[in-house]
Amino acid sequence: MLYFRVVDPERAIIEVQDYLPATNMLAQTTLRAVLGKHDLDEMLSERKKLSEDVQSILDAQTEAWGIKVSNVEIRTIELTENMVRAIAKQAEAERDRRAKIIHAQAEFQASQTLVDAAQILSSIPAAMQLRYLQTLTEIGAEQNSTVVFPMPIDIIKPFLSILDRDAAPGPPVTVGPRPNGGVLPAGSTHEITKIEA
């Protein structure tokens, strides 16, 4: 909607052949030009700003015709079916993006809290023992037939090192007679893997 008035009738007759359709056509082309510079979201949400932009451009161009544009209002913006589908896809993609960001932020906060808790538990041994006892209490409250007792790795480490040392293969041992009474050839070796008492 375009509101204007003729302020100089002489120029409105002399400078342009017919000021009414000329102003109408100029308003349409200016509107298309202004809308083409903005995103679809801006067109739908900032109609007042777009109207002001169109008015200032029209007022400057019609001044030579003796016409003063007093107001421009964009009533509706009609979208084609393709544009409506594009807007729906864009809105869905934006919702997915926000959901992923929120999920990632939640994961980050949860991991940060776990790191903080681990630092506190590792710095205070009594806190770790209390947490261990609390876990046992929670397990005991449930009707489980099997209970697994986790053991601190510090307790198990010496036993693991003994097993590793015993499992390592030793140097081959040279033996003379075979167990069945035969003799090995000179220079040959036989590795003893098991000794029974």
Domain boundaries, the chain: 2-72, 81-139
Tokens of 32: 């298309």
Which one has a higher pLDDT value, 21 or 182? 21
Q: What is the pTM of this model?
A: 0.43
Q: What is the mean pLDDT of residues 139-164?
A: 71
Opening angle at CA 171, ends 170 and 177, nearest 5: 110
DSSP state of 184: P
Helix (H, G, I), strand (E, B) or coil at 133: helix
| Three-state DSSP class for residue 161 | helix
pLDDT score, position 194: 45
Distances (CA, A) of 84 to 32, 93, 98: 19, 14, 21
Q: How far is Cα 157 from Cα 146, in angstroms, rounded to an integer?
A: 25
20 vs 139 pLDDT, higher one: 20
Q: Is 78 in a helix, a strand, or coil? A: coil
Residues 34-84: tens digit of each pLDDT: 888 877 777 777 888 888 888 899 989 899 899 999 888 888 877 778 877
Q: What is the CATH number of domain 2-72?
A: 3.30.479.30
